[in-house]
């Protein structure tokens, strides 16, 4: 190593963490809502919504980034309106990278939460009803706490996956050093630069370590919460 860490790694790491964290914070409430609607609500078009939620799993990430650009680009109607009305500019920003990551990891999160919701014993909700709990009260006091292991597992998995999102981020938010150059983008850049092999290796190892850490954390959280619930 020469001198202080030349901060390319640190910067990429910090950005990756920030992007993944913001994407989870943004998508978690929506994922709970989507899981609830897909599991409990009966309406026309439920299958379509189901397919839409899972679409990022099967689409090329670049295509997702491109669609986001078409919708939210500076000259797209929605993007222009957001900019005029709220001063929100998503393309080429960290927030944009977080949004692209959120869309990509959304199916993972919904899946985990949905399984958790399906496993909640409806009999317990019925018992809560007879004890005087109205629907929202019931959801907050019974259903949500019982779903917690699944919600946490979904969030941590999405976070870990979000650290490494590449295609959608680079397409929608580009590769701006210090703004959208997350770990995988920095790794890709290093690989493209002459003499960047050492940096690329360090970044790759960092990504591995983070991935393992994330998955282990998810498992530990799930076990701990399950034990508290007596499962």
Partner 1 sequence: MLEVSVLKQLGAFRLDATFSAPTPGVIALFGRSGSGKSTLINLIAGLLAPDAGAVSLDGEILTDARRGIAVPAERRRIGCVFQDARLFPHLSVVSNLRYGERRRRRAPPLLAFDEVVDLLGLASLLQRRPWELSGGERQRVSLGRALLSRPRLLLLDEPLASLDVSRREEILPYLVAVRERLSVPMVLVSHQFDEVLRLATHLVLLDGGQVLAEGAVEEMSLYPQLQSIVGHDLAGAVVEGLVTRVNEAAGSAELAVGSGTLQVSLRDVQPGMRVRLQLLARDVILATQPVQGLSVRNALASTVIAISDDESGAALVRVDVGGAIVLARITQDARRALNLQPGDAVWTLVKAVSTRGHAFTLARGV
Q: Which residues bind partner 1 (CB under 8 A)?
A: 121, 123-124, 126-134, 137-138, 141-142, 145-146, 148, 228-231
Distance CA 209, CA 190 (A): 19
CB of 39 to partner 1, least distance (A): 19
Name the residue among 46, 66, 47, 44 with its Cα closest to residue 56.
Answer: 66
Q: Which is nearer to partner 1, 48 or 134 (CB)?
A: 134
Q: Which is nearer to partner 1, 87 or 123 (CB)?
A: 123
CB of 40 to partner 1, least distance (A): 16
Coil, helix or strand at residue 184: helix
Structure tokens at 95: 């927030």
| Cβ–Cβ < 8 Å for 155, 106 | no
Name the residue among 49, 34, 168, 50 with its Cα closest to residue 103.
Answer: 168
Distance CA 16, CA 183 (A): 6
Q: How far is CA 65 from CA 56, 90, 150, 169, in A?
A: 10, 12, 28, 7
Q: Which is nearer to partner 1, 59 or 148 (CB)?
A: 148
Q: Which is nearer to partner 1, 83 or 145 (CB)?
A: 145
Q: Which is nearer to partner 1, 142 or 170 (CB)?
A: 142
Q: Which is nearer to partner 1, 87 or 132 (CB)?
A: 132
**CA 228, chain centre distance (Å):** 26
Distance CA 171, CA 58 (A): 17
Structure tokens at 73: 């680009």
CB of 143 to partner 1, least distance (A): 11
| Cβ–Cβ < 8 Å for 48, 37 | no
| Cβ–Cβ < 8 Å for 71, 78 | yes
CB of 88 to partner 1, least distance (A): 38
Q: Which is nearer to partner 1, 114 or 138 (CB)?
A: 138
CB of 43 to partner 1, least distance (A): 19
CB of 111 to partner 1, least distance (A): 22
CB of 137 to partner 1, least distance (A): 7
């Amino acid at each position: 190593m020469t001198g202080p860490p030349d901060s390319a790694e640190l910067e990429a790491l910090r950005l990756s963490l920030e992007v993944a964290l913001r994407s989870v914070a943004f998508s978690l409430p929506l994922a709970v809502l989507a899981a609830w609607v897909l599991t409990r609500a009966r309406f026309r078009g439920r299958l379509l919504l189901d397919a839409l939620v899972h679409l990022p799993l099967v689409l090329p990430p670049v295509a997702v980034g491109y669609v986001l650009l078409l919708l939210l680009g500076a000259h797209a109607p929605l993007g222009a309106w957001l900019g005029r009305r709220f001063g929100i500019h998503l393309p080429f920003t960290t927030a944009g990278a977080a949004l692209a990551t959120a869309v990509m990891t959304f199916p993972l999160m919904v899946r985990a939460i949905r399984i958790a919701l399906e496993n909640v014993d409806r009999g317990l909700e019925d018992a809560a009803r007879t004890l005087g709990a109205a629907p929202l009260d019931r959801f907050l006091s019974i259903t949500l706490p019982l779903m917690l292991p699944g919600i946490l597992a979904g969030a941590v998995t999405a976070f870990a996956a979000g650290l490494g999102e590449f295609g959608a981020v680079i397409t929608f938010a580009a590769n701006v050093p210090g703004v959208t150059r997350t770990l995988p983008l920095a790794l890709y850049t290093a690989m493209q630069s002459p003499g960047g092999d050492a940096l690329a290796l360090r970044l790759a190892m960092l990504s591995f370590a983070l991935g393992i850490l994330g998955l282990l954390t998810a498992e530990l959280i799930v076990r701990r919460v399950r034990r508290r619930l007596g499962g």
